[in-house]
Amino acid sequence: PRVAHQMSRCLMFDGYFGNPASHSHAFGWEAEELVEESRTQLARLINADPREIVWTSGATESDNLAIKGVAENATRRHMITSAYEHKAVMDTFQYMESKGFEVTYLEPNRSGLVRPEAVAAAIREDTLLVSVMHANNEIGVVNEVGAIGQICREQGVLMHTDAAQSAGKISLDVKTQCLDLVSISAHKIYGPKGIGALYVRREPPVAV
């Protein structure tokens, strides 16, 4: 009910119905203020700077933007992911293979986890990105993305995690967990469908 009430404020004439990109009238200013308030709230949820939050149409676009974006002008041509990622991630990595990138698919262990040491063993000099989901959407296991992120940071490799299933439910701290890119879906945390976000580390900057 609280979510429905907040959303209804954006649909009524006496609420925040304006276009947040329109800066020539008060309705637009008020709507933009609400969007930026939401950005700040989301950033606080994962211990990020609001300027590091990029709005998308959902976790699928966030995954695509993260993986394809970092590869756009990269000289490194190797990527690592798990064999049980969400279809949005798997499809994107298959696309990257069609563009000449080499992708290593790590199998989970008997407990369903992608072990940090398996990631460490797969990293090469030409590894650009590691993408391992935080919480699996089918079997519910929670990967040690902080430990994996630390390994990546030490090796100078970017770390992406799809946190659509975990954000807002499991502690997520982009700073202490050394995460460079994080995909989030609004409808998994009681927001509307068709909205998502991508956290992109600002310092030092990650180019997408």
pLDDT 10s digits, 66-83:
999 999 999 999 999 999
Residue 15 confidence (pLDDT) above 80:
no
Q: What's the pLDDT score for residue 1?
A: 82
Residue 10 confidence (pLDDT) above 90:
no
The chain-wide mean pLDDT, for the chain, equals: 95
Q: Which domains does the chain have, with CATH numbers?
A: 1-45 (no CATH), 50-200 (3.40.640.10)
Burial class from Cβ neighbours inside 10 Å (0-12, 13-18, 19+) for residue 112 reads middle
Phi, psi (rounded to 5 degrees) for 48 = -115, 170
pLDDT 10s digits, 91-141:
999 999 999 999 999 999 999 999 999 999 999 999 999 999 999 999 999
Q: What percent of the chain has pLDDT over 70?
A: 100
Evaluate if pTM is beyond 0.85: yes
> Which whole number is the average pLDDT over 44-59?
98
> Which whole number is the average pLDDT over 29-34?
85
- Any residues with CB less than 8 A from the CB of 69 and at least 6 apart, and which? 207, 208
CA–CA separation, 91 vs 73, rounded Å? Answer: 20
Q: What's the pLDDT score for residue 150?
A: 99
Tokens of 53: 């939050």
